Amino acid sequence: MSVFWAVILKRIDAVSRSLQKETIELKAVVDLLKSLSDFLTSQRDLFDEYEEKANEKVEAQYSSNCNRLRKRKWHHADSDAEEVVLLGKEKVRIETCLPILDTLSAE
């Protein structure tokens, strides 16, 4: 996650510094914000690269790969649809990275 955050925050910081200049023009502001939005959208597909860079620094495995699956109690009102259980890489990508990028893009 630190590799992921380093790239995102570095870009946000650069845009923020540019926006704070007294001489910046409105067109430049619009271009910078559009560029930042496009950048955040493009990061959705780069999770594998961030994972590779992180594994170069530290060799670790996802803790959810080591845990046993929990059985959920079913209640009468529950549907018969199977519960989706995400493990490891997919869990981090879907439950952490994508929501972060979506929230940043929405802001």
Read off the pLDDT of residues 32-91 as tens digits, 9 standing for 90 and up: 999 999 999 999 888 888 888 877 777 666 555 555 556 666 666 666 556 656 666 777
Task: Tell me, rounded to whole angstroms, the distance of Cα 42 from its chain centroid.
Answer: 11
Distance, CA of 5 to CA of 75 (rounded, Å): 40
**Higher pLDDT, residue 87 or 92:** 92
pTM for this model (two decimals): 0.66
- CB within 8 Å of 105: residues ≥ 6 apart: 37, 40, 41
Q: Using 50, 70 and 90 to split pLDDT, how confident is the model at 21?
A: very high
Map out the domains of the chain as residue ranges: 2-106
- What's the rounded Cα separation, in Å, for the pair 51 and 27? 36
